[in-house]
Chains A and B, each alone.
Chain A
Amino acid sequence: MSESDPEARRIAGEARDRVRFEEDALALADQVYRVARHLVGSREEAEDLMQETYARAFRSWRSFQPGTNLRAWLLRILTNLNIDRGRRVQRTPDMQPLEAGDYYLVDRLEENGGPISAEERVDERLSQDNIVSALSNVPHDFRDVIVLVDIGDFSYQDAAQILDIPIGTVMSRLHRGRRILKKQLAEEAVT
């Protein structure tokens, strides 16, 4: 098979594309893990899910369209695998915690510790443990969008595609989810 053989060139080109795809996907692994870690309950689950995701991504690399958002594509695989594995426990609507207004947390912190001055930082009133614990107590449907948008820095549009829900649902879940998170934070931080 000479180098001018079209079939040989095609195979060599495909091998190059595949290697490039794999390198690009691996370069995003840290960012994908940051999101994965908070979509599931434990570090072990997140690690399993990452390996399943990358194994599937490497097998089905041809279905990725170059030029589109690879990080969103990987997260779409990851969330689908997460759902397929039945790792999500859906709550019925009446079990969802009640939310408060957008300013509930800041108002509660100010009621309990005085006005927050311009120089004071949020971490003087809230610990990292407060954040991690409160986030883990937000129901999945709401937490997924918070994790994608606030931690993963995805746009509303990307989050909608990853979760396969309408953009309006992303917006309403985000709005309610952040309120639920702030209520949980207020309960954690203000006793």
Chain B
Amino acid sequence: MIADCDKCEELLQPYLDRELTDGERQEAEAHLAGCAYCARRYRFEAELRMYVRQTAGEPMPPELKEKLANLRIGL
């Protein structure tokens, strides 16, 4: 049903952020369990988030870590 899919789209991002109430989460999960169209999109959105996080995870240069440690006052 289109109306359900619209609702699911609205809930999907906060669902992925774990920011839904218990009731809303159950509503989203019930819809995802029965709708292949939204389930496919849920999977894509979840993977995209993970991919963005991994790709953007540039490690800090080791020499910067040393510079920051040298800024300490307490020792």
Contact = CB atoms under 8 A, between A and B. Distances in A.
Interface of A is mostly: helix
Contact of A29 (B43, B53, B65, B73): B65
Interface size class of B (residues with CB under 8 A): 20 to 34
Interface string A169-180: 001001100100
A28 B56 CA distance: 17
Given A103-B41, A106-B41, A122-B48, A132 B71 contact: no
Contacts of B60: 29-30, 33-34, 50
Given A50-B68, A102-B13, A102-B45, 7 more contacts: A29-B68, A33-B58, A34-B56, A43-B61, A126-B51, A150-B53, A182-B48
A33 B64 contact: yes
A58 B59 CA distance: 22
Given A135-B56, A156-B17, A178-B13, A47 B61 contact: yes
A151 B71 contact: no
B13 A121 contact: no
